[in-house]
Structure 1
């Protein structure tokens, strides 16, 4: 029973809305992952005080998690395609929940970072399969709506994270930021056991590409370490240059390995499918834009003297806008507005919001509506972009495709944290407005890439997914 997927009870499987129950169960994992991602940024100030660490050191509570997640999403997706997506998803809940409890008990910053790596391994088992479970459970004509519900669950987790995190940190302490995952994880594990379907089609993996995993991990870790070192981590200049050179070299070796390996970690043929490469670039930049403000706004407002609770409420405007639009866009726009058009409209709204951050005053009252517009644009862009990518990928490779989407999103999240920290480090410390403008300019560039990637995506017949 521990190595085989169990079937759902007949009373669940035979319901006409069984797919809705499966999607709702996947939303537990989506909610948990994004709650954890957004809530952790509110602990930075408390962690710096308790452990006496600089911001560039404390950010590795997030980056260690994200580096591990990025490295594991694709291989876990491939293994889940072969062994069973439900099985991996349920074990992901077990690992994530136990590691969350350990994070809450961590005696030092180093131990906390180590437990976050374990937590990320569980999150990879959840996230690599979440998109695949949604797309294989929902009828094809309901795929975009189902992905919108999943994106809304992610956004609700993001929206609650800043407010809940601020309340927990200011009352009972930062450790409960991790402890809150435990009861959610237990409920989700029980729901997944009874409501998720078994994997129908499987794709055997003849041999695991350990060298590919090693080069991918080395490239992402060296890149983020280099950005972190440039953001204030105490390393000499030669070490920073060596890290960036190492990231480029490991990335090149990863690409060579994927072309030559008999069973590559990443099927590069998927990147040649017309809708996939632009969609992945858009996913990366979209999540960079989503998570960058979650680091930027708390730091800038705390420098300006705002309370933790007010900061949390302001930050919540971004994911709240994301949740409302991701959940409601399909009802309002219907089938008349294509995914490609939604991507263009969403990316345009994101660019407009970030342009506003460059010219308007850096105050809670000025930031909240701009963050709401930013979230709304991403809520329109993200589900449509994901649907374009997943519709273009064969069903037999949906786990690998879902892992690929989540890997690029994870890398975008990591770059959002690291690059905004770098922008804050380069800005004058006495000027919150200058720091916000530095970071907003960086995020605006990423939004423009989202807009460009949307224009590059081919027009498709959404019923079949084929270009037209």
Structure 2
């Protein structure tokens, strides 16, 4: 039986929209607009911070291995919390947790801007990620519930456009803000936007009508996934440190492996697992999730690498941001235009062609071009190639499962995306440290690894959907 919200406490009850909003013919699209603010800010915040890394390194007197945790804390917590938050929202209200999520995101952004040390900044970023998880886990459900099934595809396309715009705008806006106002400004910009978003969410978003109790959920699975993910990222971060503490690194790495193995065993026995091993064994799921992880790794790694390169070139921060924005801009453009060829080119072909183009672009970047204009062009090609790969790959995953499993499978894709971006940060920092430590050029080292990852995607594109399954045609 659906839960009623009438008997719940004031702070646990979703507020109804004003009558003039609820009865307006454009009320569904007003709700979509409110969700798009969160979609834009979530992606903006993921990409805007990398331009601030060099300034953070100077202020906190640390290497890239230290400041990488500003991104890793955010992405790691996001990866761990997306699926559990989805279950909480089904039980307590999607609008309620979305609005609270924006409140937490806004307060944590202010905390980032005021952080007196790198440690405080990392903690504030972890809290910010929890708020972002509350936003991202609820956005699709709020959009679909607002406009209805018939207009859901169009509305989700609008939301995807907002996400792509945020991802593309991040480096350019970050470069301008850091250049004019310092690195703290990339966090302060979230505060006024967050206040506006909270107000619009309260007024424009509909209440949840189908709340259901889900019990305590897979607490053991969530704890083991979190431990395995964060300890693995810590291990990679230590390897990127100029002076790793080897005994501690070995112990933590062993604990991370044990936690990962235990997670899969627990999930195999869980009644309602976070990630079902049975679903992973279904056609296309495991390979498709691996493709999503590699694709997002290849997308995010250059956002960490090139600010270090531009710092060596003494390129102004504003100009560096414009060059770097070519990567997410190419991704956004290709992702939005790619739907036009979806009915004429199959998804496996799109994955293979796009991954091959991304591999070629990464290989060309191994040549160590010293021209910002050439780098901008290659980043544009890389972004456009990945903008072809990732939507097609994700569609292959979704079309390999029954419609009843689509929500859980979508959560798995979100986890793969967060893990891929986290590894993009950690492995790039490791590549920079190894390259500099041995007198190698780190950009060619990192780009060669990304080219290899893209080649793997070429040969592991998922199979076509099975008859009678799936919700979207490839």
Q: TM-score, normalised by structure 1?
A: 0.89
Q: Does 1:172 align with 2:181?
A: yes
**Given the alignment, which residue of 447, 459, 465 partners 2:465?**
459
**Given the alignment, which residue of 371, 376, 389 partners 1:368?**
376
The SS at the match of 1:336 is: coil
**Given the alignment, which residue of 420, 431, 456 partners 1:449?**
456
Rounded to whole Å, the distance in 1 between the matches of 2:456 and 2:208 is 36
**Given the alignment, which residue of 198, 216, 227 partners 1:207?**
216
Q: Deviations over 1:254-308 (max 9, x none)?
A: 1111122344333334324434333322221111111100011111121233222
What pairs with 1:79-94 in structure 2 (closer than 5 Å)?
79-94=88-103
Give the Å deviation of 1:22. 3.8
Alpha carbons 1:158, 1:319 under 8 Å: kept: yes
Deviates more, 1:56-65 or 1:181-190: 181-190
Q: Does 1:258 align with 2:262?
A: no
Match in the other structure for 1:412 = 420
Q: Deviations over 1:140-180 (max 9, x none)?
A: 67656544433332222222221221222222111111000
Q: Does 1:381 align with 2:389?
A: yes
**Given the alignment, which residue of 43, 47, 58 partners 1:38?**
47
Change (3 A) 1:57 1:187: same
Rounded to whole Å, the distance in 1 between the matches of 2:285 and 2:275 is 13
Match in the other structure for 1:56 = 65
Q: Mind listing any 5+ residue stretches in structure 1 that lack a counterpart?
A: none
Q: Would you say how many aligned residue pairs link Structure 1 and Structure 2?
A: 465
Rounded to whole Å, the distance in 1 between the matches of 2:127 and 2:110 is 11
Match in the other structure for 1:439 = 446
Deviates more, 1:206-215 or 1:128-137: 128-137
Give the Å deviation of 1:412. 0.5
Match in the other structure for 2:5 = none
The SS at the match of 1:2 is: helix
Alpha carbons 2:221, 2:267 under 8 Å: kept: yes
Alpha carbons 1:66, 1:120 under 8 Å: kept: yes
Rounded to whole Å, the distance in 2 between the matches of 1:379 and 1:142 is 24
Alpha carbons 1:147, 1:383 under 8 Å: kept: no
Match in the other structure for 2:237 = 228
Match in the other structure for 2:6 = none
Rounded to whole Å, the distance in 1 between the matches of 2:191 and 2:72 is 22
Match in the other structure for 1:325 = 334
Rounded to whole Å, the distance in 2 between the matches of 1:387 and 1:266 is 18
Alpha carbons 1:296, 1:436 under 8 Å: kept: yes
Change (3 A) 1:284 1:131: farther
Deviates more, 1:95-104 or 1:302-311: 302-311
Q: TM-score, normalised by structure 2?
A: 0.88
Rounded to whole Å, the distance in 1 between the matches of 2:26 and 2:168 is 28
The SS at the match of 2:325 is: helix
Q: Mind listing any 5+ residue stretches in structure 2 that lack a counterpart?
A: 1-9
Q: Does 1:106 align with 2:112?
A: no
Deviates more, 1:80-89 or 1:4-13: 4-13
Give the Å deviation of 1:200. 4.9
Q: Does 1:351 align with 2:359?
A: yes
Alpha carbons 2:112, 2:187 under 8 Å: kept: yes
Q: Deviations over 1:119-138 (max 9, x none)?
A: 11101111222344445556
